[in-house]
Amino acid sequence: MHPSTRSAWLRAGFRLLSLAAILALAPPSKAQGFTSNDLTRFRFVGDVVLSPDSHRVAYTVILYDRPGRPSPQLWIMDLATHKSILIGAEKDVAGNPHWSPDGKWLAFQGSVGEKHGLLLARADGSDISMLATMHGTNSPCTRSL
């Protein structure tokens, strides 16, 4: 199977998992429906990128549990063990993953600890290092609302 086709299938699979997670939040016995407080418990899968060797997948989980914009977390899953590793800490924001051609490194954009910008981690999530700092934004809104 072509890597882009495989990646599309993985994206679709993770989106179905997101839908299942959302449906699991709804209590089956209550007819009350959703409230605004339920929004902070939503989780969505964003980017899904299969490593070139097809052993791992990098994916983002979008959280809505903080004020302001949604915040993505970056995870790496070993496809043989189905074990996922969070890149950085619980409150770090990271996304837009790209694998190196040999699958040994993952470049991503985000903020991990004191590091903010373009970052690099080993395929197992270790040795996070700064490639370049990033200043500014591509957002059309240059001030917070």
What mean pLDDT do residues 47-75 have? 85
Binned at pLDDT 50, 70 and 90, residue 58 comes out as: very high
Residues 6+ positions from 63 with CB-CB distance below 8 Å? 43, 70, 71, 72, 73
**Secondary structure tally for the chain: helices H, strands E:** 1, 8
Supply the pLDDT for residue 112: 80
Can you read off the two tokens belonging to residue 31? 């007819």
Report the distance separating Cα 26 and Cα 124, nearest Å. Answer: 34
Distances (CA, A) of 38 to 26, 60, 64, 76, 91: 9, 20, 10, 27, 20
Binned at pLDDT 50, 70 and 90, residue 5 comes out as: low
Residue 111 in contact with residue 95, Cβ under 8 Å? no
Report the distance separating Cα 41 and Cα 123, nearest Å. Answer: 29
Instruction: Check residue 39 and report its DSSP letter.
Output: G
Averaged pLDDT score across all residues of the chain = 77
What mean pLDDT do residues 82-109 have? 91
Can you read off the two tokens belonging to residue 65? 């549990």
Can you read off the two tokens belonging to residue 105? 């490194």
The full set of domain ranges for the chain reads: 3-23+40-133
pLDDT score of 118 more than 80? yes
Supply the pLDDT for residue 33: 74
E strand or H helix at 5: helix 3-25
